[in-house]
Each structure stands twice: as structure tokens, then as C-alpha cells.
């Protein structure tokens, strides 16, 4: 039974992290382009304008995706609590896979928004 609760806590880390970092990137993003902290891709570091846009957009996506994925992550594991460790592990692995896919989708959406709103030099279209 303890394994199920531990797995539940592990599964909730990613959505809670997305909510926390989403709020942080929206409300208090890094002010200047740096190589230590923030959403750093080739497109996001082209100009200060792309940097600011990327952080707000990515933070908003993470906040929304984190809030949506909390119940989506919680329900499957609650349904298998009390089952065998193998069943709990498979359910946890599936949920973690979905969460990881969601993380990748947020990066793709942010990059697409940068391409749509800025030219190759980081200037607004």
C-alpha cells in the first residue's frame, strides 16, 4: 500500500512543478538573456523581445498544462491504489509518459509561436 502512495507523490511532482514554474516564468521571468536560468532556445535568445515573449508564453502554457494534468494524473493512480505493485507501476509509467509528452508539446508550441510572431533576427512581424 505504501508503494501506491509513494508513486502517487512521484506522479504529482511534474504537474506541481509545471504550475510553480509556469507562475514564476509569467510573473518573474529572468530580466535579461542569460545562460543560467530560463527558457533558452536558439529562437528565444535572438533578442530581448523574443526572450520576454517566450517566457510569458511558455509560463502560461506550463501553468495551464500543469493545472489540467493534475487531475488527469491523479485519477488513474487513485483508481489503482491497493492493487499490485506491478499494476501501480504500469499505471504510473503510462501517466509519466503522458506528462513527458505534454512537456515536449509545450516546447513545440512555444517555438511555433516564436516563429509566427518574430522573424529570423528576432524582430516582431
CB atoms within 10 A of CB 26: 17
In angstroms, the CA 46 to CA 43 distance is 6
pLDDT band for position 1 (50/70/90)?
Answer: confident
**Model confidence pLDDT, tens digit, residues 35-90:** 898 999 999 999 999 999 999 999 999 999 999 999 999 999 999 999 999 999 99
What's the mean pLDDT in 20-49? 94
Helices 2-27 and 85-117: angle between axes, nearest 10 degrees: 10
102 pLDDT band, cuts 50/70/90, is very high
Q: CA 116 to CA 102: how far, in whole Å?
A: 21
Work out the mean pLDDT of the chain and round it to a whole number. 94
- Cell numbers of 17, please? 512543478
User: What's the pLDDT at 68?
Assistant: 94
pLDDT at 18 over 80: yes
Is the pTM higher than 0.85? The answer reads yes
User: What is the C-alpha separation between 19 and 27, in angstroms, rounded?
Assistant: 12
Distance CA 20, CA 105 (A): 18
**φ and ψ at residue 80, rounded to 5 degrees:** -105, 0
* pLDDT, position 91: 95
Amino acid at each position: 500500500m505504501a508503494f501506491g502512495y509513494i508513486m502517487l507523490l512521484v506522479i504529482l511532482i511534474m504537474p506541481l512543478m509545471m504550475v510553480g514554474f509556469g507562475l514564476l516564468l509569467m510573473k518573474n521571468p529572468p530580466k535579461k538573456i542569460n545562460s543560467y536560468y530560463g527558457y533558452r532556445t536558439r529562437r528565444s535568445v535572438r533578442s530581448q523581445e523574443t526572450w520576454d515573449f517566450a517566457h510569458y508564453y511558455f509560463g502560461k502554457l506550463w501553468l495551464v498544462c500543469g493545472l489540467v494534468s493534475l487531475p488527469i494524473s491523479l485519477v488513474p493512480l487513485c483508481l489503482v491504489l491497493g492493487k499490485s505493485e506491478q499494476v501501480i507501476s504500469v499505471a504510473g509509467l503510462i501517466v509519466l509518459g503522458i506528462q513527458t509528452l505534454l512537456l515536449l508539446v509545450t516546447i513545440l508550441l512555444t517555438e511555433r509561436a516564436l516563429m509566427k510572431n518574430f522573424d529570423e533576427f528576432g524582430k516582431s512581424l
